[in-house]
Amino acid sequence: MSNNESERNPVANVAAMLVFSSVVEEGSFTAAARRLGLSKASVSREISGLEARLGAQLLRRTTRTMSLTEVGEIFFAHCQRVGEEAEAAELSIRRLEAAPSGVVRLAAPMSFGHSIVAPRLGRFLARYPAVRVEFELTDRSVDLVHERIDLSIRIGRPRTPSYVLREVCPMRGLIVGSPAYLASAPPIERPDDLLDHNCMGYRGPSETWAFRGGRRIETRGTFYADNGDALRNAALADQGLVYLPTFITAPDIRAGRLVPVLPEETTRTSAVYTVYPESRHLSPKVRAMIDWLVEEFGGEPAWDAGLPTEGRSAESRYLRR
């Protein structure tokens, strides 16, 4: 087919875009050919023809490596959307009651994913035996589209407008410290007293802690980390105070290893959300995962049972001496 004929044939152009997308996703012409059931030579001709029609180089190729050009990166984003729309068109005609199957790539914050979600994932897999879960635990902000993540669990409301959110459950934080630290530090009767304490947090050199009535205190400390478990361990080592989600600290509070500080002043700090790209059609497997997460963790969190609540102080000899 000549270039002029191809330009007038949108089906051929879409097919070439899907081939190009497969080459990028698989990382080689050989793997893409295997995935598409084509010969390597056919894949190579499609890419060469596509570059000729566009008048631009999309891939840098050597005998050992392949990478996208700047133009190729822009074009690849468009090709991904074409592929997603093609998949959505196919999915839309399937029966709604079709059993979920395939791989769900799920991302979650490290501490929450490890301690809360992972122990219960077996229940989801038992309910949907044709589904396989690839679980990515990371505290960084994940780019769902470019990293090909089907669904993300987020603590706090993402600011990306192109994401669809569904709230799973509320998330509360408590300020806590070890009995040894609190016994040796100045008494704490109100939020301003925190200025005399080593308040460790997620980002330095200071961190703003929120309280009831919209009050905010800028705290400072000697240790900052990008992971809640690391901060918890620092508190357990008598280094200072931390303001952490209760799913991290609840077992230590119940065991007396950590003591809540000013619980009557702290409020619901955030929520847990499921997040997926607005442009992505929800497949049965992803919809099943979202529904299961809301069913499993929705409502008042089980990890908050028995903890001090708003308006009720913790009974502790360390807070007021």
Q: What is the CATH number of the domain that holds 201?
A: 3.40.190.10
Span 212-228, mean pLDDT? 92
pLDDT of residue 36: 92
> Where a domain ends, among 48, 69, 92?
92
Say whether pLDDT at 2 is over 80: no
Are residues 151 and 161 located together in one domain of the fold?
A: yes
**Residue 320: inside a domain:** no
Half-sphere exposure of 241 (CA within 13 A, CB side): 30
Are residues 164 and 184 located together in one domain of the fold?
A: no
Are residues 37 and 154 located together in one domain of the fold?
A: no
**Residue 309: inside a domain:** no
Q: Cα(first)–Cα(last) distance of the chain, in Å?
A: 87
Say whether pLDDT at 110 is over 80: yes
Are residues 213 and 286 located together in one domain of the fold?
A: no
Are residues 122 and 200 located together in one domain of the fold?
A: no
pLDDT of residue 14: 86
Q: Which two tokens stand for residue 227?
A: 């992971």
pLDDT of residue 97: 54
Span 70-79, mean pLDDT? 92
pLDDT of residue 315: 40
Are residues 117 and 159 located together in one domain of the fold?
A: yes
- How many Å apart are CA 217 and CA 241, to the nearest integer? 14
Span 194-213, mean pLDDT? 90
Question: What predicted TM-score, i.e. pTM, was given to this entire model?
Answer: 0.66
Number of domains into which the chain is organized: 3
> Where a domain ends, among 92, 112, 130?
92
Which CATH number goes with the domain that contains 56? Answer: 1.10.10.10
Binning pLDDT at 50, 70 and 90, where does residue 316 land? very low
**Residue 180: inside a domain:** yes
Are residues 84 and 128 located together in one domain of the fold?
A: no
pLDDT digits (tens, 9 = 90+) for 128-153: 999 999 999 998 888 888 888 999 99
Are residues 182 and 262 located together in one domain of the fold?
A: yes
Say whether pLDDT at 220 is over 60: yes
**Residue 157: inside a domain:** yes
pLDDT digits (tens, 9 = 90+) for 221-271: 999 998 999 999 999 999 999 999 999 999 999 999 999 999 998 876 789
Average pLDDT of the chain?
Answer: 87
Say whether pLDDT at 317 is over 50: no
Say whether pLDDT at 186 is over 60: yes
pLDDT of residue 321: 34
Say whether pLDDT at 15 is over 60: yes
Are residues 196 and 239 located together in one domain of the fold?
A: yes
- How many Å apart are CA 123 and CA 211, to the nearest integer? 37
Task: Name the residue with tokens 């918890």.
Answer: 232
Task: Give me the helices (H) in 149-302, please.
Answer: 179-184, 228-236, 246-255, 284-297
Are residues 196 and 65 located together in one domain of the fold?
A: no
Span 46-71, mean pLDDT? 90
Are residues 149 and 34 located together in one domain of the fold?
A: no
Q: Which two tokens stand for residue 304?
A: 């908050």
pLDDT of residue 141: 84
What is the percentage of the chain residues whose pLDDT exceeds 70? 89
**Residue 237: inside a domain:** yes
- Give Cα 321 to chain centroid, integer Å: 42
**Residue 313: inside a domain:** no
**Residue 277: inside a domain:** yes
Binning pLDDT at 50, 70 and 90, where does residue 87 land? confident
Are residues 81 and 200 located together in one domain of the fold?
A: no
Say whether pLDDT at 299 is over 90: no
Range of the domain at 176: 172-268
**Residue 315: inside a domain:** no
> Where a domain ends, among 251, 268, 285?
268
